[in-house]
Structure 1
Amino acid sequence: MDKEKYAIIDIGSNTMRLVIYLKEKSGRLKEIENVKVVARLRNFLSDEGDLMKEGIRVLVETLHSFREVTNHHRLDEVKCVATATIRQAKNKQEILDCVKKNTDFTIRILSEYEEAYFGYLAVVNTTPYNNGITIDIGGGSTEVTYFHERKLIHFHSFPFGALSLKKQFIVGDIPTEMEMITLREFIYEQFSQLDWINGKELPIIGIGGSARNMVQIHQEYASYPIAGVHQYLMSREDVFEMNQYLQSLSFSELQKVEGLSKDRADIIIPAVEVFRQLVSIVGASHFALSRKGLRDGVFFEELTKEFGISVFPNVVEESFYELATDYNINLNHVFHVTNGAVIITELLNKAGIISTTKEDELFLKRGAFVYNLGSYIDSESSSQHTFYLLANRTIDGLFHKDRMIVALIASYTSKSGFKRYVAPYSQWFTKEELHTYRMLGAILKFAYSLNATKRNIIKSIDLHVDSDELTFTIICHHDWKPEQYQAEKQKKHLEKLLKMPITIIFSKEK
């Protein structure tokens, strides 16, 4: 039986893209094909506003090539959406008729609202933000939204994009000093129309190819140690620095910049200038990237029809349940291990042995949820696989640093293993933070040993503290010998961190 696949064609002003997704058993859509054609349809708009015959030819030929790919995947139904250039073309009906006649695709022209809404929808369903401002710079339009408590409050679509700004203000491959001044004045004037963004002091979430390219350039520039751009964070100063850096380069140097698509070399400067201006006007402390955008938003719209919702109640919880499904995590076992780890942490806190925060407890719970996840691949090297999978898989709703913390806690086996895993990222954390994460990892490992056979035999856990010794009393429903063996074996990690010997007393419930 064929696996369930979905496809969408996004006809933008700069690029046309065909993306094919595979629906995994968790319900998550995994991208399996991403075919891009730099069609630059915007350049085929005449002064009168018509898409010229050459532009229509490029559009139809590109759709024919996409059909070859969708036929290979045996996809009959393909969503096909178009944005600014087709929307703004005066002869849009002629374009739609020509496409319908010469291909078997039916184009849905998105309104300005729909284009902005789908971008917003993708952001609130795949990032941790409850409040923020999104920006999606296409080739021919720029959509800005403001959302509060995950609800769309305002949107605006500007009739300019990276390609049209280049065409309007820049004669050569890169702007002259005077062209930059004129461009800046124009962008500032445009953004000044929106009183609902001025001084909001909210994070800005960028969507689309220009934002992605700026982030990729910054990752290379900063020698970023992990893969993935979704939920990547840049400070206000980082955005300013990238803007200045790119404007200092010749066109031949721009074309060689790591992280920058060569076909965007001539339009990246106006795009990043737009980001810089928005960061300044909003007073944003940072800029984040959402790799999920319009195309994902179109599919999220389907949830409205299927389940009566369009916004997930909790993004990160949704992501962890996807992990549970994809890696066959035993949720009953997770519940008992998590409960044990939380009780042990609370007992140690109450006794004044450790001092952890609510945030630490949340990391502990998330680590417990995916502890030993790597055994899905190979039980012998479970720790390494656990760390690698969590550190390198995008987890919607978790920033990169938070994802790394969960990976360190969930993969904990020993001090040496912890130090080896954290080495490339050690500059992200203070010594105190690393000590806390080691402690949480050791507590989790100990709690895991108390349910080693997955029989859920623990009724209660108590702690008695002498001046130089900790005594845990574990009351059990059934025989505890396998758990006792594992607990005695694993307690050494806690003893080293707490610098106190631990005695474990198992007892049958009365």
Structure 2
Amino acid sequence: MGGGPEFPCPREEEPAGKDDNKHLWGVVDMGSNGIRLSVTNLAPPTSRILPTLVSYRLDVSLYSAQYDDETGERIPIPQDVIDTIIGGLLRFRVICNDLNVPKKQIRIIATEATRTAVNSEEYRKAIKNATGLTVEMLGKEEEGYVGALGVASGFSNVSGIVMDLGGGSTQITWMVSREGNVRVSPKGSVSFPYGAAALTKRLGDLKKGKSSEEGDKAVAKLRDEMEDNFASAYEQLEIPEDLMEQAKAEGGFRLYLSGGGFRGWGYLLLYMNQIKGNQGNHHPYPISLINGYTASKKKFEDVETLKKVAREAEDIFRVSDRRRGQVPAVAFLVNALSKSTPHGIKEAHFCQGGVREGVMFRELSQEIKDHDPLEVGTLRYAHESTNAMSDLIFNAIPKDSTKGGRKFPDSFNRHVVHAFTNVMYVHVPMNKEAASTAALYTTSTGFMSGIHGVSHADRALLALMLEARYEGELPPREVDFKRALENILTPEEVWWSRYLGEVGQLIGAIYPAGIIDEKNPRLKIDAEWASGFGKKHHKEGLRLIISITEVKKDKMMMKDTLEELAREIRKVGKKKNWVGGRNGWGMAIDYKIKEVNNLPGSLSSPTSKTNPTKTHHNEDKSTFNLFPTIANYCVSIASPRLFSKFGIKTTTTKMAQGTIKASSKSTAPTAKSSGRRQNVLGPKKGARTIAPRKANLVRNAKMTKKHSAGLISMTERTLGSKAGHLELLKGGKKNKDAPKEGKGKEKDVPEAKKGGTKKFG
């Protein structure tokens, strides 16, 4: 990183054509307990989740450095500490230079420890002279507001009390944030000198040189002071009446906690849940990410247990020795907080977001803030039919019933469903032994684990839906992990995740390439609440209605295939498969397959809304369309082999100048390249030339023969029956050039053996 005594010269000009650099930001959060340095890319369409390119921390406590170890007196920031910090900042400038971060977009944000330092001005001048960067100082109120924005960045919705526990101070305010629209107290925030490091020192000083009785009295006096100050803060902040009523109805306020002091407390709770199990059972808590973790009132306020764990545990994940030493002070603050909060505390939500995230979140437009983090984080895997598939999923959900009070859980909102359909094909190339397991881990340790702003409940929902979408078969060692994810949710949410995952499996089987022709769909899905079905006509639950186009001679056996897939969905409703067993949560499922003359040309659902972020990812369509394009390419390569296997003569397909051509004695017209993928199969008397939407993706994907063979194998498994694969490839379209029924000679298609219909996929 330079290796010399001087900082390497920055580039005089931004490289030509590097417009994306304007979205790069380098931010230094100069806190009291440590210094966090990061580079963030705010380029659309993923701006909302604040994608981080580089992030690390300097383990320097500016607060501790300002107190003499022997006398405890306040002193200026020592020169050796200043030199250490300047060295870290120079190294950070090298990183920013390597990543082409514009100098004007490198910011140093300082808080309490810098603001109150004896030699604050000299310290900031030394940094400016050495690095060329100006230190920006946040005032008390602004620090609280920016920290609150950091919390807002970490959740889709926030409604409650927000607290930031740093090393030197604590800020408190209220916040209501829904889809990026943030409301906070008009008074800003209230700041107290009760930071984790500051409170640790103060508690130690209160007992120093005093008898046990005198020390206890001094500590009790501080406790009373803190309780009074917190109670007064709630009055000053002018908490809205609706928020107060919500807290009263729910048994307390929701707390949203950020800052290193509270994160350490959260990691202690995580440690306990992973060692002793979650909610009293033997399944350890499955997710180790602090952002989005929620603790109940009982666990959050169990300060004695947490203090004991901090003292006795040999090694605690993500809790340093310094943080461990501050646990008694944090416990002291939590006690005071729980006693002074009006209506009490309902639960505590822990956040990764702080000043750094708040500064970045403030740079975003309101339009970007409106986006949902989970949906944005899965955009890169979306395909052209994502919205149509979301409509199919929503149509499989019955409308809320006003009579029986039956209602679909609010937790399965449109953002969760859009995210599900965005990534529904990611694991298709994997074999069956691995697909379900890989899908189960995607949100906690896989490619979606780094998405900022997703709650643990949403991570669990999406993971369970994806696991069920790939048949839900797991090796024995993964069953406990699945049970642990289920424990995060309610039994009702677990059951619905299984049901929707199975519906996703059906959709994936009928559309194995992930492409839906909305003008000519292969099926239509509806659902309704139902009763009086089953052998004894006494069952109650939901009915899934699947409509397909009526065919006089169903050689493709579409209806039979759907029957088998629907039976798999029906199994979710059997009592033995209910969440918690026969006496647990679940409902019976009935299904009906209707044959109609013509399917409607639109799949839109009144429940679903178009993916709001869909229009913002024109920057890289090739990425979003990668999976269906690979599937199309797979079909083109696989065709001769598959058709030969099933007794159908075809010519060899080949790649030529970005176009896949299938040559034969066909008299069919050549399909023009219209930007839409064409079917590999043409009229029955021949083949047709096709032009994929993004033929160059084949080259980008660098598909070797080995990879092609694997995809061919996957295609064979997915297409299933001998006859069924033709229906899927042809997309159910009528062939204008094909001879009418009863006229002309058709090419024979071998029928599947009786009773031998296979399930697609």
TM-score (norm 1): 0.82
The answer for the alignment partner of 1:33 in structure 2 is: 55
387, 390, 394: which one aligns with 2:440: 387
SS of residue in 2 equivalent to 1:203: strand
Aligned partners of 2:156 and 2:373 also within 8 Å: no
| Partner of residue 344 from structure 1, selected from 396, 408, 422 | 396
Post-superposition offset of 1:213 = 0.8
- Alignment match of 2:125 (pick from 97, 122, 135): 97
Take 1:373 and 1:231, find their aligned partners in 2: how far apart are those partners?
26
1:37-436 equivalences in 2 (<5 Å): 37-44=59-66, 52=76, 54=78, 56-74=79-97, 75=101, 77=103, 78-148=106-176, 150-153=182-185, 154=187, 155-171=189-205, 178=216, 180-196=219-235, 201-223=252-274, 224-241=285-302, 243-248=303-308, 253=312, 256-257=315-316, 259-282=318-341, 283-303=344-364, 307=365, 309=366, 312-314=369-371, 317-325=372-380, 327=381, 329-330=382-383, 332-346=384-398, 357-359=408-410, 362=413, 365-366=417-418, 368-375=420-427, 378=430, 381-392=434-445, 393=449, 395-396=451-452, 398-412=454-468, 413-417=470-474, 420=479, 422-429=482-489, 433-436=493-496
- Which amino acid letter does the alignment assign opposite residue 339 of structure 2? S
Quickly say closer, same or farther: Cα 1:408–1:249, change in 2 above 3 A.
closer
Cα shift readout 1:165-216 (whole Å, capped 9, x = no counterpart): 2222314999977264344233223323314379863211111111111111
- Runs of 5+ consecutive residues of structure 1 not aligned to the other structure: none
In the alignment, the residues of structure 2 paired with residue 441 and residue 189 of structure 1 have an alpha-carbon distance, to the nearest angstrom, of: 51
- Match of 2:547, SS state, is strand
- Residue 114 to residue 333, structure 1, CA distance change in 2 (3 Å): same
Q: Which AA in structure 2 matches 1:405?
A: L
Q: Secondary structure at the match of 1:114?
A: helix
CA distance in 1, matches of 2:102, 2:112: 26
In the alignment, is the contact (CA less than 8 A) between 2:34 and 2:57 conserved in 1? no
Following the alignment from structure 2 to structure 1, what is the Cα–Cα distance between the partners of residues 91 and 491? 55
Q: In structure 1, how many angstroms separate the alpha carbons of the residues matched to 2:550 and 2:84?
A: 70
Question: How many residues get paired?
Answer: 495
Identity %: 18
CA pair 311-141 structure 1, distance change in 2 beyond 3 A: farther
Q: Distance in 2 between matches of 1:191 and 1:260?
A: 27
Q: CA deviation at 1:86?
A: 1.6
CA contact (8 A) 1:136 1:208 kept: yes
Taking the aligned partners of 1:137 and 1:463, their CA distance within structure 2 comes to 48
CA contact (8 A) 2:33 2:62 kept: yes
Question: Quick one: distance in 2 between partners of 1:480 and 1:301?
Answer: 60
Gap change, CA 1:206 and 1:489, over 3 Å in 2 = same
Q: In the alignment, what sits opposite 2:279? A: none
Structure-2 change in CA distance of 1:474 and 1:60 (3 Å): same
Partner of 1:490: 565
Q: CA deviation at 1:292?
A: 1.0
Partners in 1 of 2:121 and 2:555 — Cα distance?
75
| CA shift in 2, pair 1:29/1:394, >3 Å | closer
Q: Which amino acid aligns with 1:209?
A: G
8 Å contact 2:38–2:52 — kept in the other structure? no
Q: CA deviation at 1:217?
A: 0.8
Alpha-carbon spacing, 1:99–1:32, altered in 2? closer, same or farther (3 Å): closer
Q: Distance in 1 between matches of 2:424 and 2:38?
A: 33
Distance 1:446 1:50, change over 3 A: same
State the alpha-carbon separation in 2 of the partners of residues 26 and 117 from structure 1: 24
Given that residues 319 and 397 in structure 1 are in contact (C-alpha distance below 8 angstroms), is that contact kept between their aligned partners in structure 2? Answer: yes
Alignment of 1:505 onto 2:527: no
Supply the distance in 2 between the matched residues of 1:379 and 1:26 (Cα, whole angstroms): 30
For residues 480 and 181 of structure 1, the distance between their equivalents in structure 2, rounded to whole angstroms, comes to 83
Q: 1:151 to 1:476 in 2, by over 3 A?
A: farther
C-alpha distance in structure 1 between counterparts of 2:90 and 2:322, whole Å: 24
Q: How does 1:474-489 map to 2 (within 5 A)?
A: 474-475=548-549, 487=562
DSSP 3-state at the match of 1:346: coil
The change in CA–CA distance for 1:246 and 1:157 in structure 2 (over 3 A counts) is: same
Q: Distance in 2 between matches of 1:48 and 1:265?
A: 21
User: What are the superposed Cα offsets for residues 49-103 of structure 1, whole Å, 9 maximum, x if unpaired?
Assistant: 975251x441332221332243145256321111112212354322222222233
CA distance in 2, matches of 1:111, 1:338: 46
1:17 Cα deviation from its structure 2 partner: 2.4
How far is 1:291 from its partner?
0.6
Cα distance change, pair 369–93 in 1 and its aligned pair in 2 (3 A): same
Name the stretch that deviates more: 76-85 or 230-239: 76-85
CA deviation digits over 1:205-260, x for unaligned, max 9?
1111111111111111111222211011112211221x212445796x37755552
Quote the residue 2:676 is aligned against. none
Equivalent residue number for residue 472 of structure 1: 546
Q: For residues 94-118 of structure 1, give each alpha carbon's deviation from its aligned partner in whole angstroms, at most 9, with x where no partner exists.
A: 2222222233331111111221111
| 1:463/1:158 CA distance change after superposition, 3 Å | closer
Q: Tell me which protein shows more helix as a share of its residues.
A: 1
Q: 2:38 aligns with which of 2, 16, 19?
A: 19
SS in structure 1 at match of 2:29: strand
Are residues 471 and 190 of structure 1, via their aligned partners in 2, closer, same or farther at CA, if it must alter by over 3 Å? closer
Measure the CA separation in 2 of the matches of 1:59 and 1:476.
79
Shift of the alpha carbon at 1:138? 1.4
Amino acid at match of 2:46: S
Deviations 1:415-434 (A, max 9, x none): 54499362333444565553
Which has the larger displacement, 93-102 or 467-476? 467-476
